[in-house]
Chain A
Amino acid sequence: MSDTAAFPTRSSQRASRRPLQAPQALRTLLRSPLGMLGLAWLVVIVVASLTAPLWLPYPIEYQDFSAVLAGPSAAHLLGTDELGRDVLSRIFAAGAGSLITTFLAAVVAIGVALPLALIAAASSARIETIINRVTEIAMSIPALVIIIAVIGAVGTNLYLVMTCLGLLIAGGIYRVFVGQAKSLQSQLYVDAAEVDGLRPAMVSIRHILPNMATTIFVQFVLVFAIGLMLQAGLAFIGFGPQPPEPSWGGLIQSASKQIYVHPWLMVPTGLVLVFTVLGANAVADTLAGGQGAPPSQVALGPEARRRRRELKAAAPVAVESAPEGMLIVKGLTIGVDDGPELVSSVSFEVAPGTVLGVVGESGCGKTLTALSLVGLLPPGVNPREGSIRWGARDLARLDESGLAAIRGREIGFVGQEPMRALDPMFTIGYQLAGAVRRLRGVGKADARAEAASLLGKVGIVDAERVLRSYPHQISGGMAQRVAIALALAGRPKLLIADEPTTALDVTVQAEILSLLRGLVAETGMSMVMVTHDFGVVADICDEVVVMYAGQVIESGTVHDVLGAAEHPYTTALLAADPHAGLGVVGQERLASIPGQVPQPRDWPTGCRFADRCAFAQPQCVVPVPLIARDRGDGGVRCVRVHELQLGRLDDPVPLDAATPVDGGADPTAPTTAAAPARNGKVRS
């Protein structure tokens, strides 16, 4: 067995949890030339072998004494063997037996592994443990050795031998299946079916099995490939079907005896075997490939080279330098290389010591904007136009080494998922002290002490214990504090925080916000706070930009934007916020916005909010510039802003805290209390 690709490992298990849909799987296969080629070869070989008796040029035992050990010729396309038998005929005559028995191995392996996996996934932990142990034993048995012992006992009965192989390999297949079956079993639609009282067996058949189809097929093909190789190997060492009955391994074995005399004989059978296994693997790879790893966070190989080339080739744009500690973003457009635009001409400034909020719904480009400010855009996504001025440099046009000099030291970054932001393999002390050494150039001992004091600064009391801990040993709130400490390790002047509190409990969020506010006040650093929560904006920001579908649609001071929003989207979003009514009861309806944020490829050329806007008019189909806001500094991207005067409504929030409402508990009360729904205009 020289191929164990069917055996799982951690990452193949993880990958297999993202099942392809059947039609999707077929499409993937058809789109990949390699996969197609593999499939085509398999079909040809199987059909040709099964129909061999109908078309073979020679009977398998026919001996052509005029051409013993001949090379390819018109009479014998693939030559002849030492007895003058036609090689082509023998290969295809041997095919049926080899393929059918191998098929049997695959059927047995899947047939045993699949029910076990379904049962293990659906049963209690104890039963699962038992099944796991049994399969682990099967996995650590050297299969070939046992199979040879079986042959010793019962002779070379290929059906039996391949059944044994199937059984022995089932352990490995089970590992692949059970991982996926368990993750499917934990899906909420399985819970829903259980609530309905669907029988466990039916749950497996209806909800688990169909979602495993691709994995099952992939494993089937892989076992098939293994079986083919093993069978050939057995035949080679003399445990195959006994001559004169041809088998692929046997053909190779007799060819090997002629290696000094007539090496050609090795070639045809070997190649057929190799191509068949290759074909099977190609099909499996193509299907499994659609479930690949997440895209790399580091630009690698050609992608990195391409970016370097582009930066070098780009004409140097003269940008005036920004004042010390000031971040000036102008007309920043970000797009996928050779793909759609994701952020369009975003502009804002962040003055030292201030906090800018970037707010909007998901998919509006907040994260990409934030990442671009630290040069951390994912590979393949790059700034296209505009500038990010920081001191004398333009971060939109800086290469990796230029960015590395700024990251951490001048601009720090904190992400959304604290538990995933730390490397699980290293202690927090190692990661934090390492960052301190790198960013401040201090010695090992000093770095450790500094790491402890940083943790103290972010409100961690038992710093020494946390330094010794691994990320999985601390809570989410704690991890976010550590992530903030990491971002502060180089004493940056600007901190970019992408939804740093979204994954946390509100009580922890309040603590983290207090911490950040304290840091801003204490160190005079500035901050860009990305969030979807207007409450967070109200709590910590000085200025705010509201993003919608890749554009800034409103900007201004927090006081102006939250207190007197002028863009229909901002007003509507504020009205939809249940926290606006916090402390207010009896609110029967929230104002809501129909529809959803459009995908980048669906952005219209005119106002991108027009589809959902209650005030949309024919004039809204033209591209809308950012217009100076009615009151205060900042801009609004709405052609009707001056006409609508949304900001001048005496109360832009649907219900103010002072509205007297009784705490009515009657659910059937008429829903008249608040603004009419689906109407951006609130409170008439």
Chain B
Amino acid sequence: MILFVIKRFALAVTTVFVVSVLVFLLVHAGDTTPGVVAVGIGGTQEQIEAYNEQIGWYDPLIVQYLAWLGSALTGDLGTSLTNGSDVLDEILRRFPVTASLAFGATVVSSVLGVVLGVTAAVRRGLADRLVSVFAGMGAAVPAFWLGIVLVFVFAVQSSLLPATGYVRFEDSPSGWFSSLVLPVLTLAIGGAAFIARQTRASMLEALGQEYIRTLRATAMPTWRILYVHALRSASLPIVASIALQFIALFGGSIIVEVLFALPGLGVAVQGAVGQADAPAVQGIVVVATLVVVVVNLLLELTNSFLDPKLRTS
């Protein structure tokens, strides 16, 4: 078990490292040098080169990467080329927005997905068919399209909720909540569809196992068989699918942030890429990966704890 935790941890660290190298290389592969961005439209070739020289752009890649890694490990992700702000500060400022969105969507999609999946598996019949229609649609409707439809229905037609924008929790908890409802829903539906399918399949798989017969033979009430034993068996693949879903969700939040004009990391990365703001791109991507990897690690440890075979090894 301890060995398992160590191995997973090592893998998580490797993942972040690999991504940081990848992004570093990508940033350097572009044909826009930082100087061009930092100096701006009117800058001369000399000014640009001077800037590049100053930040060490012409150093060997490995030297540059190590320099970046060194300062990143001390919490310095550099400064933005476009507005000179500290990248880490910018990330920290935007993080709550994306975090609220991603975690909100994860919670909503997990709860919704598990409830629907269990209902479909247990009730079969009409409920099952309705859930599978939902799961099919949820998997097929792109988040942005769904978002637009939601905005149209709840904001444009009925003004129940704000169409776009973000209210900070500190400013108004209720405003914060209503500013997040539509984005979270938009992001959560697809995930809920995926988790519902997985839950349904895992429940049915569990209910087909022979030990269910033993439970019936010892007069265990049906509800306990369904909601204690079958669900417990199904919990492993369900948590695994939630972990996978989180990865997709975190990426998907970019689209939702753009759609709802939320000042989160997604919008930032969109902007940074659009403007070739190398330090910002690099910083945000690495931090985003770090978050995904950490959450994933936690879910995986949860799963290994849920699995008696792993726990007792």
* Chain A contacts to B: CB under 8 angstroms: 1-5, 7, 9-12, 14-15, 133, 136-137, 139-146, 148-154, 172, 225, 229, 232-233, 236-239, 252-253, 256, 259-260, 263, 266, 270, 273-275, 277-278, 281-282, 285, 292-298, 300-303, 374, 376, 400, 404-405, 407-409, 412-413, 415, 417, 420-427, 434-435, 438-439, 470, 472-473, 483, 486-487, 489-490
Contacts and interface: CB of A to CB of B under 8 A. Distances in A.
Given A152-B276, A294-B209, A297-B207, A236 B29 contact: no
Contacts of A172: 244
Interface string B247-270: 110111011001100000000011
Given A256-B148, A277-B140, A296-B207, A470 B219 contact: no
Given A2-B190, A293-B201, A425-B308, A149 B285 contact: yes
B93 interface: no
Given A1-B248, A152-B273, A259-B151, A490 B219 contact: yes
Contact of A376 (B139, B216, B236): B216
Nearest to B14: A137
A300 B136 contact: no
B258 A11 contact: no
B15 A151 contact: no
A490 B218 contact: yes
A390 to B, nearest CB: 15
Contact of B219 (A148, A273, A407): A407
B208 A295 contact: yes
Interface in B279-313: 281, 285, 288-289, 292-293, 296, 308-309, 312
Contacts of B110: none
Given A10-B236, A277-B140, A470-B309, A142 B288 contact: yes
Given A260-B156, A421-B214, A438 B222 contact: no
A415 B11 contact: no
Contacts of B22: 146, 149
Contacts of A14: 205
A128 B146 CA distance: 41
Given A3-B248, A376-B216, A435-B218, 4 more contacts: A142-B289, A149-B281, A273-B145, A301-B122
B179 interface: no
A136 B142 CA distance: 26
A294 B312 contact: no
Contacts of B197: 5
Interface string B128-161: 1000000011011111110011011000100000
B87 interface: no
Which of B26, B211, B222, B237 is most buried by chain A, counting CB atoms within 10 A of its CB?
A: B211
B148 A266 contact: yes
A30 B216 CA distance: 38
Nearest to B267: A237
A443 B141 CA distance: 53
A438 to B, nearest CB: 6
A434 B197 CA distance: 31
B191 interface: yes
Nearest to B288: A145
Contact of B125 (A233, A302, A376, A435): A302
Interface in B152-190: 152, 156, 187, 189-190
Given A298-B225, A300-B122, A407-B218, A3 B194 contact: yes
Interface stretch (B38-46, B56-64, B76-84, B226-234): B226-234
A273 B141 CA distance: 8
A277 B143 CA distance: 13
Interface residues of B, number: 97
Contacts of A424: 211, 233, 308-309
15 contacts: A1-B248, A4-B244, A5-B194, A7-B244, A9-B202, A153-B27, A225-B140, A232-B144, A237-B254, A256-B259, A266-B152, A293-B207, A294-B205, A300-B123, A486-B217
A282 B136 contact: yes
B214 A486 contact: yes
Nearest to A487: B217
B85 to A, nearest CB: 19
Which of A142, A374, A490 is most buried by chain B, counting CB atoms within 10 A of its CB?
A: A142
B140 A141 contact: no
A551 to B, nearest CB: 25
Given A297-B209, A408-B218, A408-B219, A141 B308 contact: no
B273 A483 contact: no
B240 interface: yes
A409 B218 CA distance: 8
B15 A140 contact: yes
Which of B30, B145, B152, B251 is most buried by chain A, counting CB atoms within 10 A of its CB?
A: B145
A142 B292 contact: yes
Contact of A297 (B124, B212, B241, B289): B212
B247 A142 contact: yes
Contacts of B251: 1, 142-145
Contacts of B232: 423, 425-426
A424 B145 CA distance: 43
Contacts of B122: 300-301
Contacts of B309: 424, 470, 472
A140 B292 contact: yes
B214 A422 contact: yes
A224 B142 CA distance: 14
Contacts of A417: 210
B233 A423 contact: yes
Contacts of A149: 22-23, 26-27, 269, 273, 281, 285
Q: Which 6 A-B pairs have the closest CB atoms?
A: A301-B124, A144-B251, A2-B190, A294-B208, A152-B273, A413-B217
A366 B262 CA distance: 66
Contact of B205 (A11, A270, A404): A11
A298 B29 contact: no
Given A11-B205, A420-B211, A148 B233 contact: no
B81 to A, nearest CB: 13
A66 to B, nearest CB: 27
B55 interface: no
B98 to A, nearest CB: 11
Given A133-B11, A146-B19, A302-B124, A297 B270 contact: no
B274 interface: yes
B106 interface: no
A2 B254 CA distance: 12
A295 B204 CA distance: 8
Contacts of B97: none
B145 to A, nearest CB: 5
B237 A301 contact: no
B218 A281 contact: no
